[in-house]
Amino acid sequence: MTEKFIHGYALLIGVGESAYSKLSLPVTVKDTQAIYAALIDPELCAYPDDKDHIRILNDKDATKAGILDGLNWLKEKAESDPDANVFVYYSGHGWLHKTTNRYYFLQHDIKPTKLASSALPAEDFTSVLRQIQAERLFVVIDSCHAAGMTNSKDADLELDEEFDDFIRVAPSKGVTDEWKQSKGWAIFTSSEGEQKSWIKDEKISIYTYHFLEALQGAGNKPGDTDVKVSHIMNHLDNSVSKTALQLYNVEQIPCFNLDTKGDFKIAKLRGGKGLPDKGWEEVKPEATQTINKIGQIIGKQEAEKIINLDSVDSFHFGDVIHKS
């Protein structure tokens, strides 16, 4: 029987459907669904499939209050479990106000005429995040999205004109430095500066695709049985920019901010079986097939459904885990 990753706690946020439809980013929900599927698969990351270990905030659940409540839930989990490994994944808009230089996450319940006052300021996000006193805290932010993620390039340009007080930009190192806590931490962003975060296809973003590869051992060595932060970082560093250049001839350079204690395990590797003697190249075809199947299944599901890799055609279907 596969050993569960019982000390893993994850909050996955996909601000797909915005209350202001022009800001909707459907692929962000597909990203969180895909990561969730990998996390709960007993043959992959082996997180327990329950709301005590993973919570998903997609679409209408990804409100300002919902996100802060989710972070507070992680705070409580870290307090009750000294061995907690905490993982936060945010996929949605992140904008910088040109005048105030304040960074905002654009959650579901945004008010376009009062963007600065209705969006989630990075300071509020930081305030709760720094209270999560886990020995290991891993934060991933995919927040600077390219035209391909919205309805059209023209719609993308319209957003720039409509919200000309803001810049769509990844959080700077100065912003992420504020998220640091006293214990082990690692903060990843999908791009740097005003570089965009691009989609690989209609099912998944480039960053999440390679993140899923990393969760299956792409950055590991033969014999490894856990996926650590360093394994994920090394693979993303080697693959994301190459794919963006190949598909779009653009730069998308992922960024990494971590302390000396920032290398810790974030998941089981192939259910704890680890990589075989021939390493990643031996399992890569199977891993690629798994990612493709995740995308296919997600594409067929209703928005309120989430998948778990275990039955139908090797997949099992379950309901989204919402915040309580």
Which range (26-40, 286-300, 302-316) has the least confidence?
302-316
Q: How confident is the model at residue 158 (pLDDT cuts 50, 70, 90)?
A: confident
pLDDT computed for residue 301 by the predictor? 53
For residue 76, pLDDT beyond 80: yes
Give the pLDDT mean for 144-172.
Answer: 74
Give the pLDDT mean for 123-132.
Answer: 92
What is the overall mean pLDDT for the chain? 87
In a domain, 1, yes or no: no
Separation CA 215–CA 280 (nearest Å): 11
Tell whether the torsion through CA atoms of 229, 125, 143 and 294 is positive or negative: positive
In a domain, 47, yes or no: yes
pLDDT computed for residue 299 by the predictor? 63
Q: Smallest Cα–Cα separation from 300: which of 278, 317, 283?
A: 317
**What is the CATH number for 248?**
3.40.50.1460
Could you give the percent of the chain with pLDDT greater than 70? Answer: 87
Model confidence, pTM: 0.90
Separation CA 95–CA 115 (nearest Å): 10
Q: Domain range holding 136?
A: 8-319
pLDDT computed for residue 26 by the predictor? 86
Domains identified in the chain, total number: 1
In a domain, 324, yes or no: no
Structure tokens at 38: 């990998």
In a domain, 2, yes or no: no
Measured torsion, CA atoms of residues 206, 291, 212, 308, in degrees rounded to the nearest 10: 130
In a domain, 3, yes or no: no
Could you give the percent of the chain with pLDDT greater than 90? Answer: 69
In tens, the pLDDT along 85-114 reads 999 999 999 999 999 999 999 999 999 999
Which range (27-36, 152-161, 263-272) has the least confidence?
152-161
